[in-house]
Copies of this chain bind each other. A is one copy, B any other.
Amino acid sequence: MQTTQMLKGIIDGCILSIIHEGEVYGYELASKLDSYGFESFSEGTIYPILIRLQKDQLIQSTLKKSTAGPKRKYYSLTEKGVEELAGFQKRWDHLSSTVNLILRKGE
């Protein structure tokens, strides 16, 4: 069991939250997640999630020129995405308090 294996589904919410801070493109998102403390996220993890979130109409994208390199695909939240983020926050609060309760008891 490694750190990353317990993140399933949670990254989605974190990505929504980071996008909610302000438009980002995938490559940038990877380094932001890293700087927040999620170290082992390759692009092979992130891009499929972005594609899935867009398919679910939680985020939308626009292409913009890069200062160097190919065009960047900037993502922003849709209205549905904002709602989903709020839902995730509630679920996260519930989850984290439940886990904390169990872990404290088990000491």
Q: Is the pair A89, B101 in contact by a Cβ cutoff of 8 Å? A: no
How many monomers of this chain does the complex have? 2
Count, chain A residues at interface, CB 8 A: 39
Identify the interface centre among A17, A18, A36, A102: most chain B CB within 10 Å of its CB: A102
Q: For the complex, is A85 an interface residue (Cβ under 8 Å from B)? A: yes
Known contacts A1-B9, A8-B5, A9-B5; is-contact A85 B102 (Cβ 8 Å): no
Q: Is the pair A106, B17 in contact by a Cβ cutoff of 8 Å? A: yes
Q: A76: shortest Cβ distance to chain B, in Å?
A: 13
Q: For the complex, is A88 an interface residue (Cβ under 8 Å from B)? A: yes
Task: Please give the residue numbers on chain A whose beta carbons come within 8 Å of chain B beta carbons, in ascending order.
Answer: 1, 3, 5-10, 12-14, 16-18, 20-21, 36-38, 84-85, 87-89, 91-92, 94-103, 105-107
